[in-house]
Structure 1
Amino acid sequence: GTIVIEAAQMACNIAAGSRRRFAFEKYVPFQKQVWDTLKREAVAAEVVRSPDQKPIIFGSDVAHRMVDFAQRNAARAGVADVIEFRGGDALQRLPPIDVSTTGGGVMVLNPPYGERIDVGGVAKGGPRPAGDSGGFEDEPNVPRFGARELPQTEGAGEFFNQLASHWKKNYAGWTAWVLTPDLKLPGKMRLKETRRVPMWNGPIECRLFRFDMVAGKMAGKA
Structure 2
Amino acid sequence: MNANFKMVATTMFGLEEVLATELKNLGAQNIETGVRSVSFVGDKGFMYKANIALRTAIRILKPIKNFKVFDEDELYKKLQLINWEKYMNADSTFSIGAVVNSKNFTSNSHYITLKSKDAIADYFRHKYHKRPNVDVKYPDLKIHVHIQKDMCSVSLDSSGDSLHKRGYRSATNIAPINEVLAAGLILLSGYTGDCNFIDPMCGSGTILIEAAMIANNIPANINRNEFGFEKWGDYDEDLFFTIQDSLLKKIRNSYFKIMGFDKAPSAIRKANENIKNANLSEFIGVHHVNFFNSVKEVFGPTYILFNPPYGERLNIDVQEFYKKIGDTLKNGYPNSTVWFITSDIEALKYVGLRTSKRIPLKNGDLDCRFVRYDMYEGTRKTKKALQ
TM range (shorter): 0.7 to 0.9
CA deviations on 1:37-60 (whole Å, 9 max, x unpaired) are 1111111111147xxx6x621111
- Aligned CA RMSD, in angstroms, stands at 2.3
CA deviations on 1:86-144 (whole Å, 9 max, x unpaired) are 11211012224112xxxx21101211123224xxxxxxxxxxxxxxxxxxxxxxxxxxx
Paired residue for 2:220?
Answer: 16
Paired residue for 1:6?
Answer: 210
Q: 2:337 aligns with which of 160, 175, 179?
A: 175
Taking structure 2 as the reference length, the TM-score comes to 0.43
Paired residue for 1:163?
Answer: 325
Paired residue for 2:289?
Answer: 88
Amino acid at match of 1:160: Y
Paired residue for 1:74?
Answer: 275
Per-residue deviation, 1:15:
0.7
The question of 1:98 aligning with 2:299 is answered yes
Cα distance in 2 for partners of 1:29, 1:45 equals 27
Paired residue for 2:233?
Answer: 28
For the 8 Å contact 2:322–2:348, the answer to whether it is kept is: no
CA deviations on 1:32-80 (whole Å, 9 max, x unpaired) are 111111111111111147xxx6x62111112111111111211221221
Amino acid at match of 2:220: A
The question of 1:107 aligning with 2:107 is answered no
Per-residue deviation, 1:218:
5.1
SS at match of 1:80: coil
Tell me which protein shows more helix as a share of its residues.
2
Amino acid at match of 1:208: F
Summarize the Cα distance change of 1:218–1:105 in structure 2 as closer, same or farther, 3 Å threshold: same
For the 8 Å contact 2:292–2:325, the answer to whether it is kept is: yes
Amino acid at match of 1:66: A
Paired residue for 1:210?
Answer: 372
Paired residue for 1:137?
Answer: none
For the 8 Å contact 1:181–1:206, the answer to whether it is kept is: yes
Per-residue deviation, 1:214:
2.4
Question: Which deviates more from structure 2 when the two are superposed, residues 6-15 or residues 71-80?
Answer: 71-80
The question of 1:192 aligning with 2:331 is answered no
For the 8 Å contact 1:169–1:215, the answer to whether it is kept is: no
Larger RCO: 1 or 2 (CA < 8 Å, sep 6+): 1
Percent identical residues: 28
Structure 1 gap ranges (5+): 118-152
Larger Rg: 2
SS at match of 1:184: helix
Runs ≥4 residues deviating over 4 A: 215-221
Cα distance in 2 for partners of 1:216, 1:164 equals 15
SS at match of 2:338: strand
Cα distance in 1 for partners of 2:376, 2:347 equals 19
Paired residue for 1:144?
Answer: none
Cα distance in 1 for partners of 2:232, 2:289 equals 46
For the 8 Å contact 1:211–1:218, the answer to whether it is kept is: no
For the 8 Å contact 1:4–1:58, the answer to whether it is kept is: yes
